[in-house]
Structure 1
Amino acid sequence: MIEIEFASTDLLGLRFAHSPMVEVVTSGFELIRPAGFWMYASWRAGVEPRLAGAGLETFLALISGPNCYVPDFLTPVPPTSRPSLDEELQVVAATPLDRVAAEVHAAWAGHRAPPEIRRFGTDPAGGLVELVRQIRRYFELALAPVWPRLRAVVEGEIAGRARAATEHGPQTLLADLHPKLDWDGSALRLASPKSRHWGLDGHPLALLPAGFAGPKVHLMTEAPTGRALWYPPRGYGRLWDQPERVEPSVTLAALLGPTRAAVLTLLAVPGSTGEVASALRLAPATASHHLTILRDAGLLVADRVGRRLRYRRTDLGQQLAGVSDARAGGVSAA
């Protein structure tokens, strides 16, 4: 059991962020160790052909070390809630070279490392430059195409927990984060074969939901950039599903009309105009018209992710669609 003890003021330091580098690292885990990560099979099938021959040997060797340790400098705790990949890579690139060499060595200590890893012992500066280049390439090929979905499901998670904290207090931010985590009001406990007890020691804890975290929880307890917990957001198992049509309740259809009720019901997971149009077999202009009406009525909000808008339900929208969600047996990402 790993236990994180909270002082009375530590709850006030909790914050959320979505880290591109955490998604980079966790998605790399799913590529090199697919067992147990069945929910990403369709993503892997589409990505692996694009990555073949892409020259990512340094990055892949670093995250697949035999000691099951990934250097902390790869995932700096973000100081803002929505850092860009460029902002995080600037922090990675500025890591002191002695720390880079030490952490890379730790990932392969006791094992014969490939040349890409041995380079960090003799030329850490050159190795780091090459690593940053490869991460950019990996993100472009593997994550950029799905980034709007990743961002949307994480935004839904953060919005849902923020609502709960507003209504019931900050302690609810840690409630039901993950089946392996137990929160008793003073300590957060992670089911683990390891045994360890530690406190935050005045450091704020960053909660980093990540679509690629899968069924696992990851802790950063002593990184120079801060303390963090990575976990999967609610609804992550549906991340790669195409939006499915779920019939709204009779009551909701009578109130909003059948099409707008279907749109609101569909958005248990945030979606774009195109995704709504495809799932409900509507013309894009028709889908946009209904989304706009629902937004103007206060049932949806639109978040810009890259060049696209993704719509998610407001509190009122959640309440109205709740009956349909229960009938469908779905899990809301918000």
Structure 2
Amino acid sequence: MEDGGTLHLGENLDMPVLVQLIPGMSVLSLMGDLLGVPQGVPVGRRALLRKSCSERLWNAMGPLGSTGSLRIPQVLSPDGIGANAMRGETERISDMTSDSLSADLERTFGGELPSAWRKVADDPSGFLAAYSGLIRTVWGSVAPLWNQAEPLLEREIQRVGVASVTGTMDALLANLSPRISFADGNLRLPDNAPRVESVAIRKLTLMPLVSGTRACVYRVDDGHARIGYPVTGLAPLLAGGGSRREGPTDTLAMMLGELRAVILRKGNQPVSMGKLADLLQCTAGTVTYHCRQLERAGLLCRERKGREVRILRTLKGEALMDALS
């Protein structure tokens, strides 16, 4: 697999950040998992989907992973917003002309088609029929989960909005996914993904996914990065627990994660790392890791007092606590 590359967002993140609910991105993530690009999909769910795909549909999937990772030409990407858009997307793909597909393959691969895609170019109408059927089958698996995740998706819009107005988008990005990291203004993409050259980004769209706990899909065009990541709170839903509406919402935990939210709250006065580890009942290494992420986001500072390292909220951390109190 190739290195996924780095997207330069800038330390001040002075750009539009949008959230779009695009169910087709979860479909593409699940297809990637079937092709061997791990997305954190539960084994049972993956097995059921494999059984539902006929040989004809599997043949359509072959070219998608022919470059060693999931790489979808733009015209084949189901980009419609909202669950009701998927029917229209599958119809659009099945009705696509051969010329439209050929032109986009040229743009995507620069005229050097991999052998698997040359077969598509020889029979574009047959491929489009099979591929639209594949999209429809995978969406049939995703749709019930997408509907159950509606409260989580709505909450994600709120979470990103809070980060935007409080100036803490860097903290949110640092906690986006176990396969994506953010530090010093740079968003680092997964290794097992199509390579993206280091590029300055002028616009960022976040797309929460419901496919798996390690899901990641993205596309970068003309300075616009679209990043798909697991919606916060997905794991219990995948385990069959459903999404919960009841109970008060901890907006700080929504943004930072529960452990980092507790650490930031404890930072209202100097506290040692050792005491934090005892209070949180976790290892010193775990506390150090999460404190370092909060420090990179500008919410905490660390200082050494003799043999102890203590943490304390910064002015930015205090402002975030005030905004969310």
Structure-2 residue corresponding to 1:18: 21
Q: Spell out, residue by residue over 1:169-221, the C-alpha distance to the aligned partner (whole angstroms, 9 max, x if none).
A: 54444232134444346332346496841112x4x221112122542534312
Query: In the aligned structure 2, how far is the partner of 1:64 from the partner of 1:195?
Result: 17
Give the one of 7, 15, 39 matched to 1:4.
Answer: 7
Distance (whole Å) between structure 2 residues aligned to residue 87 and residue 217 of structure 1: 24
Aligned to 1:136: 136
Letter in 1 for 2:231: P
Determine the structure 2 residue equivalent to 1:227.
Answer: 225
Where do residues 287-302 of structure 1 align in structure 2 (5 Å cutoff)? none
Q: Distance in 2 between matches of 1:221 and 1:81?
A: 21
The reply to whether residue 147 of structure 1 matches residue 146 of structure 2 is yes
Partner Cα distance (1:233, 1:7) in 2: 24
Give me the whole-angstrom Cα distance separating, in 2, the residues matched to 1:57 and 1:316: 43
Cα deviations across residues 113-154 of structure 1 (Å, max 9, x unaligned)?
4xxx555212424532442243223322x2233232344433
Using the TM superposition, give the Cα deviation of residue 77 of structure 1 relative to its aligned residue in structure 2, in angstroms: 5.2
User: Counterpart of 1:228 in 2: which secondary structure?
Assistant: strand
Let me know the Cα RMSD of the aligned residues: 4.4
Relative to structure 1, the CA distance from residue 168 to residue 8 in structure 2 (aligned partners, 3 Å threshold; closer, same or farther) is closer
Taking a change above 3 Å as real, the CA distance of residues 180 and 57 of structure 1, as seen in their structure-2 partners, is closer
Q: Paired residue for 1:306?
A: none
CA distance in 2, matches of 1:10, 1:168: 9
Given the alignment of the two structures, is residue 206 of structure 1 paired with residue 205 of structure 2, yes or no? yes
Matched, 1:47 2:59: no
User: What is the Cα deviation at residue 109 of structure 1?
Assistant: 5.0
Question: Which residue does 1:122 correspond to in 2?
Answer: 122
For 2:42, give the aligned amino acid: Y
The secondary structure found in structure 1 opposite 2:238 is: coil
Which structure has more relative contact order (CA 8 Å, sep 6+)? It is 2
Q: Secondary structure at 1:68's aligned position in 2?
A: coil
Query: Alpha-carbon deviations, 1:94-125, whole Å to 9, x = none?
Result: 5822234447878x9555x4xxx555212424
Write the mapping of 1:300-319 to structure 2, written as runs, cut at 5 A. 313=249
- Please tell me whether the aligned partners of residues 211 and 236 of structure 1 are also in contact (alpha carbons under 8 angstroms): yes
Distance 2:164 2:174 in 1: 10
Task: Say whether the 8 Å CA contact 2:180–2:188 is kept in structure 1.
Answer: yes
**Structure 2 stretches of 5 or more lacking a match?**
263-278, 282-325
Question: CA offset at residue 7 of structure 1?
Answer: 5.7
SS of aligned partner of 1:178:
coil
Contact 1:39 1:237 in 2 (8 A): no
Deviation at 1:52, TM superposition (A): 4.8
Scaled by the length of structure 2, the TM-score of the pair is: 0.59
Please give the alpha-carbon distance, in whole angstroms, between the structure 1 residues aligned to 2:169 and 2:160.
9
Q: What is the rounded CA distance, in whole Å, between the counterparts of 2:253 and 2:181 in structure 1?
A: 30
> Residue in 2 aligned with 1:236?
234
Q: Is the 8 A contact 2:78 2:90 kept in 1?
A: no
| Partner in structure 2 of residue 253 of structure 1 | none
- 1:208–1:11: structure 2 CA closer, same or farther, 3 Å change rule? farther
- Find 1:28's aligned residue among 31, 53, 65: 31
Kindly provide the amino acid, as one letter, of the partner of residue 159 in structure 1: Q
- Tell me the alpha carbon deviations over residues 223-267 of structure 1, each in whole angstroms, 9 at most, x when there is no partner: 89x531122222333332232xxxxxxxxxxxxxxxxxxxxxxxx
CA–CA separation in structure 1 for the residues paired with 2:41 and 2:118: 34
CA distance in 2 between counterparts of 1:182 and 1:240 reads 23
The 1:59/1:26 distance shift into structure 2, 3 A limit, reads farther
Identity of aligned residues (%): 17
Residues 160 and 169 in structure 2, CA contact (< 8 A), matched pair in contact too: no
- What is the aligned length? 252
Structure 1 CA distance, aligned partners of 2:79 and 2:143? 21
